[in-house]
A and B are shown apart, each in its own frame.
Chain A
Amino acid sequence: MTSATVTGKPDEPVVATRNYLTEGGVTLRSWLLTRDHKRIAILYTLSITVFFFVGGAAATLIRLNLVTPSGIFTPDIYNRLFTLHGIVMVWFFLIPSIPNTMGNFLIPLMIGAKDLAFPRLNLLSWYLYVGAGLLALFAILIGGVDTGWTFYTPFSSLYSNGYVVLALAAVLAVGFSSILTGLNFIVTTHRMRAPGMTWYRLPVFVWSNYATSVIMVLATPVLAITLILVAAERLLKVGIFDPALGGDPLLFQHLFWFYSHPAVYIMILPGFGVISEIVPCFARKPLFGYKFVVWSSIAISVIGFFVWAHHMFVAGISLYAGLVFSLLSYVIAVPSAIKVFNWTATLHKGWISFDAPMLYALGFIGLFTIGGLTGLFVANLAFDVHVTDTYFVVAHFHYIMVGGMVSAYFGGLHYWWPKVTGRLYPEWWARIAALLIFFGFNLTFFPQFILGYLGMERRYYSYPPEFQAWNILSSAGASVLAAGYALPFFYLGWSLFRGKRAGSNPWAATGLEWQTSSPPPTHNFDRMPTVTRPPYQYRPEPEPQDV
């Protein structure tokens, strides 16, 4: 892809002759040893795409199995499939998705810096990610793991006969990759902003990634500790979680969710950032309530640490713990609602156009709102007692993680594609894909809310026949969704070679990343930019390009 993007035809205008894809060479070695945040972002993008398709393949097989009530695969294969799907999608796609690709590429550009604060650490983070990913794939290939991505004890520590310790090691390693990225972003945001780039002039994308990074740095070590304890119990029979050895199985759940609930916000906050960039650009209006959007992200990252036991309302926690954690879960729903209201208000009296990134953003708002509102259902004590561990919960978190985060990821991918590659994608195909994803997603996951209320449990390879009709609908939706996700792979790939040259600012967007050429030069800016205005100063008439 590298050489083709820079050999423009002579009749095409605005070719950045000097850019990060050519400077420093185009050899494999120059890529694998690069310290340029933009090249590392490309490496990350390629690797998470591989894992997205691995996790997606498992999801496809899961939906295939559930077409019939008796299942197609054996239970052992099915249990390995959903474990693989969960581990790969959570740790090897969702958590690194926006921060490590777009965050890596854009944060220095958005704040007017030459690179991240620690370029070598950034490369190390990618190598840790790849090493961990290969380890996870190895564990899967030699026999797999059947614990679910949640590794609940004492099943994972003493009863499961899968390759649990290998999987734990892979997750542990990828956790360090998260920590390094988080650290890098925090220091970069504090120390490397261009003159005039005050905190309240930062794009919301930077704020969101900052809030995400704080969670990564504070929560991930707890995961590391927990996984090591599980491995210690499994390998050395040290009694920590299994009551037969004198341990406490609920201790694991407290520790695991102390990481994994904040991790939900690691997965969604960067998405909020992307949407907050796209909506003002295509509504040609400043973001409504900038400070409220910013501080709601910070509020989410703080309160997010105090809601973990809402995963445990039927697990045997005390009545009072249940009452407190449910209340806090309702509290954290407020800042999320604030964001939705602000995005909607941004549309008011705007000059709205519906290019592909905007379609993804509007789809995000719709799906995230449904996901957020059903969050109120599962945060509700009595309601959760009926639906926890059913497909209601599965549908709820897929609305947030897939309907929300993956839509935001695709929205961002389209929005910044011209900046990253210097090429435009075919708009018509991009809109088709956005619509396919939206409708396919709803057809896949909406029936699962109903299935969950009916009592269909998670992680069942077979189920009572009265649930089949909704399952068939869901599986039909999954095939539409799969087509929607495969489509960008082709037209974006095509645009790398044949796409129209983008110019530096095809959307007439504000933001420093649009002030430099596309693709940007290795050092991002020819002259250090100076910032004099707040972000999102959009006006109805598109500003002339490339001045």
Chain B
Amino acid sequence: MGSLQLLPPTASAHAADMDWLFAALLGTSAFILLLVFGLMILFCVRYRKNSKVERGNRLGRTWRVEVAWTTATFIAFLGLYFWGAELYVDIHSPPKDATDIYVVGKQWMWKIEHPGGQREIDTLHVPVGRPVRLVLTSEDVIHDFAIPAFRIRQDALPGRYETLWFTPTEVGDYRLFCAEFCGTWHARMGGSVVVMQPSDFQRWLDSQDPGPSLAQEGEALFRSYGCSGCHGGAGTVRAPRLEGLFGRPVPLEDGRTVIADDRYIRDSILMPKAEIAAGYPPVMPSFAGQIGEDDLLKLVAYIKSLADGTAGTSQAGSVERPAQ
């Protein structure tokens, strides 16, 4: 039945930082608890009804005491806040060289697609020591991709891309859970994260039957959905060219500027009227309801690959390169 384990495995750089934060929170709480419980017990014993102890000179100006403990408490709380906030900003700032892996949640499984086209269900293979960025979405209800050994989790929302990144530091098998209630088999919607040596990971990738890469499949879809008709440059309609687009700022018709990231590409396919690139007529039809989440991910991967000419393994750091 297992022993009384106290801490989960610590398998990422962030997990180690988090355990220090946990220690700080525990230390502060233990101090306050000992103070309050200590005083309560002391007073209850010393000033019990039948004790004859001296009770003169009660605290007079209570507001001084009040201001003192209010200020002290607040300052201690602020320290904890900033510590946690700094780590939170950190886990929302993926490094530029992170590998993107796509995750689609659906009742009740996780579908995972590697950039090379390898697919897996409920298991995520990653190499040790390399940053990985997960792009999460859902086909139905809200799910949550949780890896306690890395101390991170993120909701996977239908209709949105959310991201989550980590750098595993320990080889091993770790638990993967769905943490947002999603229906009957919620408790069984999980599996494992397998952290491997890079060479083993490469062997694993090669042993899978990848077929075409995500970007290559995206390219085929790009033609079959007719996107290339306008965006390919040969058509009669003037549409933005997509080469070199990904990761760059896009000036919009309404004066704003957005970065062309996964979300922008996805939203532009489904809701093309929402954020119109400056200088182009808003003539693109919406593909909402016609393209599933799987195909959307492939299209995004293809457009991402156009930025740097690779098969979509990485987009960032390449935005300065000239388009093909």
* A contacts, CB < 8 Å to B: 71, 75-76, 79, 146-148, 152, 154-155, 159-160, 242-244, 248-250, 283-284, 288-289, 292, 313-316, 319, 322-323, 326-327, 330-331, 333-334, 337-338, 340-342, 344-345, 347-354, 362, 365-366, 369-370, 373-374, 376-377, 379-386, 388-390, 450, 453-455, 457-470, 472
Contact = CB atoms under 8 A, between A and B. Distances in A.
Given A288-B62, A327-B81, A353-B48, A383 B184 contact: no
B3 A469 contact: yes
B151 A386 contact: yes
Interface in B145-186: 146, 148-149, 151-155, 157-160, 162, 175, 177-186
A338 B33 contact: no
A376 B29 contact: yes
Contacts of A353: 48-49
Given A374-B29, A453-B8, A289 B62 contact: yes
A467 B179 CA distance: 16
Contact of B89 (A319, A337, A340, A344): A319
Contact of A352 (B1, B43, B77, B144): B43
7 contacts: A341-B66, A347-B40, A381-B87, A389-B179, A457-B177, A460-B187, A468-B2
Interface residues of B, number: 83
Give the interface SS of chain A, mostly helix, strand, loop or mixed.
helix
B84 interface: yes
B287 interface: no
Contacts of B107: 159
Nearest to A333: B77
A466 B5 contact: yes
B84 A382 contact: yes
Contacts of B73: 333-334, 337-338
Contacts of B321: none
Contacts of A146: 183-184
Nearest to A244: B158
Interface of B: 1-8, 17-18, 21-22, 25, 28-29, 32-33, 36-37, 39-40, 43-44, 47-49, 55, 58-59, 62-63, 65-66, 69-70, 73-74, 77-78, 80-81, 83-92, 107, 140-142, 144, 146, 148-149, 151-155, 157-160, 162, 175, 177-188, 289
A155 B8 contact: no
Contact of B44 (A342, A362, A385, A455): A362
**Most interface-central of B78, B85, B155, B184 (chain A CB within 10 A):** B155
A386 B153 contact: yes
A334 B66 contact: no
Contacts of A152: 141-142, 180-181
Contacts, number: 263
A492 to B, nearest CB: 25
A293 to B, nearest CB: 10
Contact of B188 (A323, A345, A350, A462): A462
Contacts of B6: 450, 454
A192 to B, nearest CB: 30
A465 B153 CA distance: 21
B88 A319 contact: yes
A349 B62 CA distance: 14
Nearest to A83: B181
A243 B158 contact: yes
A316 B155 contact: yes
A351 B69 CA distance: 24
B146 A457 contact: yes
B153 A383 contact: no
Contacts of B89: 319, 323
A155 B77 contact: no
A349 B142 contact: no
Contacts of B47: 283, 347-352
Contacts of A323: 85, 88-89
A379 B162 CA distance: 21
Given A148-B181, A316-B162, A347-B44, A334 B186 contact: no
